[in-house]
Amino acid sequence: MQKFIIMGVQGCGKGTQAKMLCQDFDLVHICVGDVFRWHIQSHTKMAARINRIMAAGNLVPDDIVEEVVKARLDLHDWNFGFVLDGFPRNHHQAEFFLESYDIDAVIHIDVPDEVVIERLQNRRLCSRCGLDYNLIYCRPAANLVCDVCKGALIARFDDTPEAVRSRMRDYHGKTAPILDLFRKKELVISIDGTAPPPDIQTEIRRKLSLKVPPKSPSKAQAMAAAAAG
């Protein structure tokens, strides 16, 4: 059983790394943002509560976020473990988590703000098929045209410099300090997130002393190639 939390500022590539890790070690990638989206799309009672709170102009309070995460983990569909992504985001949530669950490590993907800002500003999505491009690292063959479906490439509306900086302030103000809480328990491994995705993955596995599983290595390479965009 391997239970991990993955942390890093938005755009650090933690989702990609979580997926690569889960694929090879049969872990479940629990992305809390996806869990919330599932509630909204499924019109659950929880979604109705969240909608009422947000309609009143309030942020979803910690106890509700914690309830959603607890309910998700209580499904126990993770026989070999999980990688939790997007939680905890502040001190209260971190204390709740440590009281309720034991984990093996916190994987901290460390990328300087300026690198993330550059990445996000150069990010483009295909308006038709949703494929991800980067104008520096993963350019389309024709300018702003999707290689696969010839759709137009667009910037994500929430990737404006102001929005990116606001999310970063939130991360550094509330989320980064909880790394210290986990460090006191000697749970944190920090990884240089500016390296190519396959190298980052190798480093994560080295620092966690995870043995390369007996599966075909081409799968990890294919995922890494797909994730590079």
Catalytic residue positions, numbered: 14, 89, 123, 156, 167
Q: Output the smallest distance, CB 225 to Zn ion, in A.
A: 17
Separation of alpha carbons 162 and 174, rounded Å = 18
Tokens linked to 48 = 């109705």
Which H/E stretch holds residue 5?
strand 2-7
Each residue 65-104 as x (binds Zn ion by CB under 5 A) or -, in order, gives: ----------------------------------------
Instruction: Select 150 or 185, whichever has its Cβ closest to Zn ion.
Output: 150
Q: Identify the CA nearest to 104 among candidates 79, 74, 90, 84.
A: 84
Interface size with Zn ion, residues (CB under 5 A): 8
Instruction: Select 118 or 147, whichever has its Cβ closest to Zn ion.
Output: 147
- List the one residue from 21, 84, 94, 146 that touches Zn ion (CB under 5 A): 146
Instruction: Count the Cβ atoms, other than its own, within 10 Å of residue 42.
Output: 9
Q: Output the smallest distance, CB 135 to Zn ion, in A.
A: 15
Give the phi and the psi of residue 89 in degrees, each rounded to 5.
-110, -5
- List the one residue from 151, 167, 174, 202 that touches Zn ion (CB under 5 A): 151
Tokens linked to 25 = 């070690």
Q: Does 149 bind Zn ion (CB under 5 A)?
A: yes
Q: Output the smallest distance, CB 166 to Zn ion, in A.
A: 29
Q: Output the smallest distance, CB 138 to Zn ion, in A.
A: 13
DSSP assignment of 97-117 equals HHHH---SEEEEEE--HHHHH
From 24-32, 84-92, 114-122, 141-149, give the range in contact with Zn ion by CB under 5 A: 141-149
Of 119-138, which residues contact Zn ion (CB under 5 A)?
126, 128-129, 131
Separation of alpha carbons 88 and 97, rounded Å = 7
Instruction: Select 60 or 152, whichever has its Cβ closest to Zn ion.
Output: 152
Instruction: Select 136 or 149, whichever has its Cβ closest to Zn ion.
Output: 149
Integer CA distances (angstroms), 95 to 18, 47, 63, 102, 186, in order: 23, 25, 12, 11, 15
Separation of alpha carbons 131 and 17, rounded Å = 18
Instruction: Count the Cβ atoms, other than its own, within 10 Å of residue 184.
Output: 9
Q: Identify the CA nearest to 227 among candidates 203, 195, 191, 205.
A: 195
Instruction: Select 152 or 212, whichever has its Cβ closest to Zn ion.
Output: 152
Q: Output the smallest distance, CB 127 to Zn ion, in A.
A: 8
Positions touching Zn ion (CB under 5 A) are: 126, 128-129, 131, 146, 148-149, 151
